[in-house]
Structure 1
Amino acid sequence: MEFKTEYQPKSRRAEATHHDSYETFRSQSSMPEVKQDDTPWFPFRSRGDSELASIAVDSNLSDSLVNRLLSLLKDVATKKKNVTFANAEDLRKSCDEAAKEFTPFQEYPIHLEHKKDDIELKFMARDMWKWSLNLLSNEQLAPHFVWDAQRVYKHNGDLGPESKYVRFIDEPWTADRWWDVQVSLYNDAPSAPLAFVFYADKTRLSSAGNVQGYPIVARCANLPVDIQNGRGVGGGRVVGWLPFLPEDPEKEKTLSYTTLKRVVWHESVACMFSGAKHASQEGFYFSKCYDGIARWLFLVILILSADYEEQCMMALIRGAMGNYPCPVCLVPSECQSHWAESYPRRSAKRAQSLYNDLKSSDRAKKKAAKVELEKESWRPVKSAFWMLRDSDPTDAVTVDHLHAFHHGLYGKHIHLELIKILESMEKSREYRGKLDRQFSQLPSWRGLAHFNWVTTVSFSDGNKFRDISRQMLFAAYNIVTQSESPEFYKLLCLLSSYLEIDSYFGLRVLTDEMLDALDREVERYGRLLEAARPRIPDIKINWDFPKNHAVIKHAVEDLRRKGASCNGTTRVNEGVHPPFKHSYLLRSNGKKVPEQLLRVEDHRLAVSLVEDRVIAQERRAMDVSDHHDDSLGPAFQGHVYVGSMCRAITVKELESSRRASDRAFINFRRSLKTYINDVCLPDREYVGQPLKVRDTFMEHRYMKVNYESHENWKVSTDLLRCTPSFYDRPRYDCAIAHLDEDPDVYGIVRLILIFKFTIPELGAKSLPFFAALVQPYTASLTLGSRTRRLDTDLGLLRVKAQPRSDSIVIPIDSIIRGAVLSQDFRRPDEYFVNDYVDGDMFLRMKDPKWIGQQ
């Protein structure tokens, strides 16, 4: 058996250790048995009504647009679907009726006093516990809930003395915090956490920025990450809308007003938690678990997903300007770049004890508590999380991949300092122009944004910084030499280490070996920090800032304790902001904004709930349970699919049209003949030895490749282009391919021609053969000491192209997956492998078998 699972003893399972085959472990959880339902769209009057409502809500259609759409539908309606809405108000009332199926938003009054001023606010939220019960009662989600902590292992495949099971971590229940929480549950019966990911952040609703929203999003961590991060009912949902204090320029940024904002936040959230307090502290008996085991469930906030500013709000610390700016530990502000030292962890129990002393009648206690709170940079505010068990913010706060890495450490520091160093040099304009030019020449790749300029454009999007960081090394390595600017070179070395950490941190599945490798890389990064400090006037890099500290001290710890970073990333949570901005623009009159926007949010959830039921019913009728990513086009089985077929062409036409301009076709006829004899007909003699010039084949300019990802052992798909014009530019992608009968021998090739042909001599029995003309990048490298040092310092993987005339024909089935090569601008036939494009490529390039070929 390849996989082993150990369950936490509190699960009270009869089988504490379970073994699975590869196929069984990789398969998804079973789908629920769908009961026959003739009207799954209820309370809508028809299937057409539910579908139209879904379109109207998702598109944020205004009333006038809805009325126009209905008018059009009535004119062209067929009898396939019956739409009964009369107008937009009718549609809205139906959505209101559908929304009654789950816990509604309710208004909580917030009463405050500030320097003798009475402040009345209102907080709109769902009752957290009642909303949790909505999730538990959903039949579509029931089979996907996971309750018990697990330690999961995969066999390393070695049959000799090195044979062993290696632990890996992905979902939160496979990590240590879930295990520790379940241990703490004192009930003797089977008990488990009902765990949530909790997110909050402000957003600008109006283009002028004068109207803001403050949504709170919750996701159930007991559901697999693909569901909880998805758009369905099991995905993240807005459960609260925090109020803002009235604007007062005189009070703004004063200590008391800043503290008051924290009071508003936590008193509001406490209202939402009030109904869940008993279930969290004492447990809730749930007898309807899908696996048939009755459990006591304890509501827990497992992960706090937020940017640094919001983390400080949640953890009630003073922030970056405090003496101890980390929400997790008591690191002094001047020591945040010290990777080797460890510091005491913060504790909610201590903060609560100090707060109670501060509010006591004992003057000595009050004074001592005030001193300690200020000393440790706590805010003197009662935390909403104290009412829930195992929800200490210092344990739940999570290093965020978007804000700590992409928008923070790289976007706000490494990237800006690289540009500043270039700007400080005598040949500044020349160097910045060269960087932009080389950036624009980097190859395009699906999922990786392409940039023509990076030195003169300011970005505020962390996703853009992520994509820039993964390409910067390949555009900047030769801008200036190490002797011209030691600071620039050292910062590139630091960037190389950052990219390694970023790639490990972003993996969906991490083994103990990967985590150990990440630990070693963090240590290397820490050593590079001091060397990366420039000694250039007017350029000051202070690496003592919270996001840098989070990366070097808490990133690995978070992965071990909470699972892969995708479980707590704000990237998916920030996806709730754009729909609210659109709703404000199209569906709001500017009055009672929270009520109007949350009504639309109710409608979104209602139509999503109905659509899930309808889809489940349709799958039952069609006996179809699989799905695919629509962005990849039509689903296909097997390994390779080819498309974008051109007209038939003869070998003679091909050679005459391309041979003069492309040396790859000089030996095409010979390569094709070798391929036919060695691959297509290995067990029989090819009747027509000379390839006939009239023989034709079909050229294809596009292919999709399915491959098993080394990152999560699931099927991924690459889209490869082989065309003279893709968006008005030539596009000939590269790929990893088997180049020998030995499955362990592989290399990188560039696609030149994808084609399909038949062998006439086989007559009617001939099946189409699919092949590709490719240029291998397997030539021997001859490098000088300076180039070798550059490659080593920057972690560059170099390959060299075989002569174009040595191109070969290979079966397309030998292509493993796509690859991205960036040209060495100093050595025309040599290229760098960009192993940062995704987790699978990153891990493949760590394979010793691959490294041994270089």
Structure 2
Amino acid sequence: MRSLRQIESVWGQLTQGHLDRPLQALRKHRWSCHGITLGEQAQTGQQAPRDSAPRPQAGRRPPASSTIQPSVQGSSSGPRTRGNIPSLVNLPTKDSIRTEFYPKRKLSPEVVELDEYNARRRRQRTEYPTELSDRPPYYPFKTRLDFDFAELVFKSSLQKEQITQLLSLVQRCVNQEDTLTYQDFAGLQASWEEAKHLVSPFELSAISVDFGDETIIHDFWHRSIWKWAVECLEHPALAPHFVWDAEKLFKFNGERWERFVNEPWTGDRWSEIQDTLPDNGVPLCFIIYADKTELSSFGTAKAYPIYVRLANLPSHIRNGNGLGGAILVGWLPIIGDEHPAAGKPEWVEYKRAVYHECFVKFLECIRDPSFVGKAFTCGDGVRRTLYPCVFILSGDYEEQVVMASVRGLGTPHPCPVCLVHEDDLNKFSRDWEYRDAVKTGALVTIALDESKTDEEIQSARDDLKEMDFRVIENTFSGVANSSPYEALSFDRLHNYPGGLAKTRIVSRILSKLGASKAVPAVELRKKINARAREFPRWRGLSHFDNISKKKSYQDSNKWEDMARVFFYILQDVFTAEDEEGCQLLACLHVFLNLNTLSSFENHSETTIKLIETELEQFMTEIQKLCDIIGEEWLFPKMHLHMHMTRDILAKGVTRNYTTKTFETLHRALKEFYLWMTNFRDVDEQILNADQRSQVLKYIKGLIEFYNEIAELNETSEAEGTLNRKGEGGLKHAYGNVTLKAPQGSRSQALVRFKFDPENTLDIYARLFTGFNFESAIRSFWTSHAEEDLATLTTESKIRAFRSIETFFTSEETWDIESNILRCSPSFYRRPRYDAIMFNDGGSIVVARLLSLFVVYPNDEPGSDVPLALIIPYDTSVPASLKQKDRKIGLYRVRQVLQPQPEFIFARQIIRGTVLIPADENKQDFFIFDVLDSDMFLRVRTMLGY
């Protein structure tokens, strides 16, 4: 089945073409595309927004049924095209995906349809092993019930007395299908001890570092990341998902092949590393994160964890919470300031030295294999020579400074990865002088070599000081292909929501709104707060009742949402005479564009160029603001996003190295501290708890894998019986939509159905004066006679619904995504009538969803038709107003003065959207384009960008 986007597009005829025509490379990276010459340019197929006076209801025309069914189930769309010369039969269609494999593998490029590409991303790379272990997956627990009991006890944080009491109760009613063998706490404890070997245990190392004439010893807990990686490689559920070779991906846009990246192995750095390895060698790429966190709400108990992930696993596994996700691998010592030298530069230097000495010990297990390789038979049965490396270092700015061994904030060169001068932190450039690990390492070696002359040592130290390096051997540079200045990556979380939004732009807006008690200021704040309270609700979007009041949110997502909301509710607040206010909104607009673009899960040449354009514009707008307010924004986070496109091109999209997926793991440590320790000497107690949680995760992964294999074996003789979830079995599913929240116990006769706007439509009830529901249904039916609908009779029935899930092809991920939309008078005790985008004969129309129905003309299967009752926002907007809105990135829709409700086929609904009133009149609305990446791109197309 083709995707929605493919079906809606009208392809041009491809009359001639050739592949491998080099195009201009982006920046200094080895990005290349492959051109296609068209005899007749292919049309994009993008639906245009409708902007004209509303037509009569009969004029609403859905596309053919196929055009509103996105492909949910991946399938091959014909023979694949291999090789550099396209077949005259199998020429690429728009949205075809081309994969170029790592050259040493000598595989021809492969072209598949988008549906097949998406399906492959969700499948394992190799086959699951056919032979399973003789031992049950819950070993060393004696029975499955023993394991389930142990998991329950662990998650409930029960103590010995509680466990003993629980066992005495459970043992009275043992399930005959399984057996609970534990008689006391000791039995459970014995199973835990026996299961320890399944996951690499923590080891305690004494790290001694000299401070002057004093030698100070610190405890450092760590587990071998090599052993953990081996456990993942051997695990039958994970082994088929590992990716070893670099790949280059291209998408055919109707004119040429355009390269795009997503996973780490699709970027340039993977292939650069693989170029340094023997032909039989493959990289084993680690992602390492470290940061301090508070365990107690009062901040008295702290931790300094190290987490690791494997970049060789796909993102849905790597960033997930289950098997193959991040694991706690280190517990760095927190060095206090009780020492007499605390606060002095040499003490800061000492703490950095301890940090890197801990990492020396931590990385010891992969140092030698990174240079000479280590042969290993993986879980898929293939023997490979693995070369481990530190592929990505993830951390906030403060942590990156420590990882890079630089002095950081307040120095002439504060950037961890390049040598930008502090006076140029607010400048845009595409060419930065990057720090060199080899050059720096050589200087540090000389500076610490007592056999060198004083002049040589001093010269090396002066050179290091000039670049603001600390005289410390950087441990990451001691691992092959692990330069910290290549591995350090843009941190979207702390740079955008928790950085520029929190500390600068939103903070400046809040200060401007101020706390003045003057009547105009008070009234303005009331107006702004009222708009924020009425801001439409959407899943994942924070809601603010008092947005104008300064707060100290710890959650960066709150600051991100505040920035998004402010841009829309302040549009008519700052007058043209208020230069600062207007310029703040200009800065906020570009910031929101960058914030959204940085979240993309696919980045093409086009979106990379768009990021660079927005970065340049952002620096320009910020400088205008600084000129107005008399400040200079010279701080690292104004500069760090200059390296975002470099990181994307080298290591894939930002979700591969964001700190957001790591910081959520701190929650488990806090729970361990709160419920599984006695609050004294907690380090070992927390690590023991984590060890047990990893054992549970390991065994649970095995159980799920065994169950999956068993299910596949049971259905192997009935090919095609495994449908996608809900297909053919979901009662109210209709292709791309599924109706939910049915009203009443059953359908009612249409002639007796009571449509009650007063009690079901809240403020929209006034629109239904004189509205005859049954007549409207029959009129709609008559106007769509060509749709081959079953005839309505006196026996026809109808049923109301209050929710709908829509499935659509994302403009950004190119995969199937979904929205759940509401039309309810009381959703969590509030009226909720979501806005929608629907397809009206090839044009996109925005509307308000008021009600949902399924009409049953007769009892014949398949005759039922889902309908939506809407209020369209499709009257024309003056050209001058449209042009003004377009300059600031806004798309306005307008409701007629006397709106008339109308029916559409529910399957015409593409997706939900959020509409923000342009003013208190609530006749004009802005589309909330920064709702998600798909909406962002749709609105850009509607604006003609």
TM-score (norm 1): 0.91
Counterparts of 1:481 and 1:87, CA distance in 2: 74
Question: 1:521 and 1:129, CA in 2 relative to 1: closer, same or farther beyond 3 A?
Answer: same
Question: Following the alignment from structure 1 to structure 2, what is the Cα–Cα distance between the partners of residues 19 and 710?
Answer: 20
Q: Distance in 2 between matches of 1:175 and 1:781?
A: 44
After TM superposition, give the deviation of residue 125 of structure 1 in Å. Answer: 0.6
Match of 2:702 among 613, 616, 641: 613
Pick one of 239, 242, 248 that aligns with 2:338: 248
Q: Would the alpha carbon gap of residues 35 and 808 (structure 1) be closer, same or farther in structure 2, given more than 3 Å must change?
A: farther
Q: Call closer, same or farther: CA 1:725–1:39 in 2, change over 3 Å.
A: same
Letter in 2 for 1:446: R
Q: Conserved in 2, the CA contact under 8 Å of 1:99 and 1:605?
A: no
Aligned to 1:661: 765
The residue that corresponds to 2:468 in the other structure is 377
Any idea what the Cα deviations from partners look like across 1:321-380, whole Å, max 9, x if unmatched? 111100011111121001137431111112211211211232011211222222211111
- Aligned equivalents of 1:446, 1:687: Cα separation in 2: 38
The one-letter amino acid of 1:776's match is P
Judge which range, 88-97 or 46-55, deviates more. 88-97
Corresponding residue number in structure 2 for 1:528: 621
Return closer, same or farther for 1:232/1:544 CA change in 2, 3 Å cut-off: same
- CA shift digits 1:652-683 (9 cap, x unpaired): 76456549933146264454223322447634
| Secondary structure of 1:543 counterpart | coil
> How far, CA to CA, are the matches of 1:674 and 1:379 in structure 2?
79
Q: Report if the CA contact (8 A) 2:886-2:943 is conserved.
A: no
Provide the rounded CA distance (Å) in 2 between the counterparts of 1:503 and 1:574: 20
1:477 & 1:724 partners in 2: Cα distance? 30
Residues 103, 130 of structure 1: 8 Å contact kept: yes
Q: 1:651 to 1:738 in 2, by over 3 A?
A: farther
Q: Do the aligned partners of 1:664 and 1:805 also contact (CA within 8 Å) in 2?
A: no
Residue in structure 1 matched with residue 850 of structure 2 by the alignment: 752
Q: Which residue is equivalent to 1:322?
A: 411
Query: Which range moved further: 339-348 or 605-614?
Result: 339-348
Partner SS, residue 808 of structure 2: strand
Q: Report the alpha carbon displacement of residue 714 of structure 1 after superposing the two structures with TM.
A: 2.2
Maintained 8 Å contact 1:98/1:607: no
1:800 aligns with 2:894: yes
Q: Report if aligned partners of 1:98, 1:606 keep a CA contact under 8 Å in 2.
A: yes
In 2, Cα distance between equivalents of 1:793 and 1:706: 32
Partner of 1:415: 506
1:487 corresponds to which residue?
Answer: 580
Displaced runs of 4+ in structure 1, greater than 6 A? 624-629, 633-637
Paired AA for residue 782 in structure 2: N
Amino acid at match of 2:875: A
SS of equivalent residue, structure 2 residue 701: helix
Q: Quick one: distance in 2 between partners of 1:381 and 1:601? A: 32
CA distance in 2, matches of 1:178, 1:635: 46
* Aligned CA distance change for structure 1 residues 13 and 289 (closer, same or farther; 3 Å): farther
SS in 2 for 1:707: strand
Counterpart check, 1:44 vs 2:141? yes
Q: Which amino acid aligns with 1:134?
A: E
Judge which range, 601-610 or 619-628, deviates more. 619-628
**Which residue matches 1:734?**
835
Task: Kindly indicate whether the alpha-carbon contact (under 8 Å) linking 2:377 and 2:384 is maintained by their aligned counterparts in 1.
Answer: yes
Query: Superposed, which structure 2 residues align to 1:512-661 within 5 Å?
Result: 512-533=605-626, 535-536=628-629, 541-551=631-641, 553-623=642-712, 638-647=735-744, 654-655=754-755, 657-658=757-758, 661=765
Question: Is this contact kept in 2: 1:190–1:294, CA < 8 A?
Answer: no
Moved more, 299-308 or 445-454: 445-454
Kindly indicate whether residue 598 of structure 2 is the aligned counterpart of residue 505 of structure 1: yes
Letter in structure 1 aligned against 2:484: P
Once the two structures are superposed, the pairs formed by residues 252-271 of structure 1 within 5 Å of their partners are: 252-271=342-361
What is aligned with 2:231?
Answer: 134
Residues 283-302 of structure 1 mapped to structure 2, 5 A cutoff:
283-288=373-378, 290=380, 294-302=383-391
> Any stretches of 5+ residues in structure 2 without a counterpart?
1-91, 716-721
CA distance in 1 between counterparts of 2:123 and 2:400 reads 34
Report how far residue 82 of structure 1 moved.
2.6
Which ranges of structure 1 fall in alignment gaps of 5 or more residues?
none
Q: Shift of residue 554 of structure 1?
A: 0.8
CA–CA distance in structure 2, aligned partners of residues 67 and 713 of structure 1: 53
| Offset of residue 466 of structure 1 | 1.8
Amino acid paired to 1:772: A
Q: Does the alignment pair 1:357 with 2:446?
A: yes
CA contact under 8 A between 1:431 and 1:480: conserved in structure 2?
no
2:938 matches 1:840: no
Give, as a single letter, the amino acid of the residue that structure 1 aligns with 2:654.
S
Taking structure 1 as reference, are residues 112 and 491 closer, same or farther at Cα in structure 2, changes over 3 Å only? same
Distance 1:562 1:55 in 2: 39
Question: SS of the residue aligned with 1:357?
Answer: helix
User: Amino acid of the residue matched to residue 637 of structure 2?
Assistant: K
Which amino acid counterpart does residue 877 of structure 2 have in structure 1?
Answer: L
Identity of aligned residues (%): 28
Distance 1:403 1:600 in 2: 29
Residue 100 of structure 2 aligns with an amino acid whose one-letter code is E
What value does the CA root-mean-square deviation take over the aligned residues?
Answer: 2.7
CA contact (8 A) 1:54 1:607 kept: yes
Q: Residues of 1 paired with 2:205 and 2:556: CA distance?
A: 35
CA contact (8 A) 1:348 1:386 kept: yes
Q: Out of 894, 909, 917, which is 1:815 matched to? A: 909
Per mean C-alpha deviation after superposition, the further-off stretch among 562-571 and 200-209 is 200-209
CA distance in 2, matches of 1:477, 1:582: 43
1:784-830 Cα shifts (integer Å, max 9, x gaps): 55x743x2343111111245642221111111111111111254211
Q: Secondary structure at the residue paired with 1:298?
A: strand
1:635–1:202 CA distance, 2 compared to 1 (3 A): farther
* Change over 3 Å in CA distance of 1:454–1:766 after alignment to 2: closer
> How far apart, in 2, do the equivalents of 1:774 and 1:663 lie?
11
Distance in structure 2 (CA, Å) of the matches to 1:401 and 1:713? 23
Farther-moved stretch of structure 1 (747-756 vs 472-481): 472-481
SS at match of 2:929: coil
Q: Which moved more, 1:540-549 or 1:107-116?
A: 540-549
SS at match of 2:930: coil
Moved more, 340-349 or 198-207: 340-349
Q: CA separation in 2, counterparts of 1:247 and 1:409?
A: 30
Q: Which residue in the other structure is 2:98 paired with?
A: 4
Per-residue deviation, 1:710: 2.1
- Cα deviation per residue 1:289-346 (whole Å; 9 max; x = unaligned)? 74x7654321111111100110001001111111110001111112100113743111
Give the TM-score, by structure 2 length. Answer: 0.83
Which residue number corresponds to residue 8 of structure 2? none
Q: Report deviation, 1:514.
A: 1.1
Paired position in structure 2 for 1:120: 217
**Distance in 2 of aligned mates of 1:301 and 1:765:** 58
Paired amino acid for 2:350: L
Structure 1 counterpart of 2:626, which letter? R
Q: Which residue number corresponds to residue 811 of structure 2?
A: 710
Write the letter of the residue equivalent to 1:672.
I
2 CA distance for matches of 1:225 and 1:722?
35
How many angstroms apart in 2 are the aligned matches of 1:293 and 1:80?
39
Alignment partners' CA distance in 2, 1:559 and 1:132:
25
How big is the shift at 1:835? 1.4
Of 280, 283, 292, 1:190 maps to 280
Name the structure 2 match of 1:467: 561
CA contact (8 A) 1:434 1:479 kept: no
Per-residue deviation, 1:405: 0.8
Cα offsets for 1:254-291 (capped at 9, x unmatched)? 2111111111111111101112111101112235474x
**Equivalence for 1:310:** 399
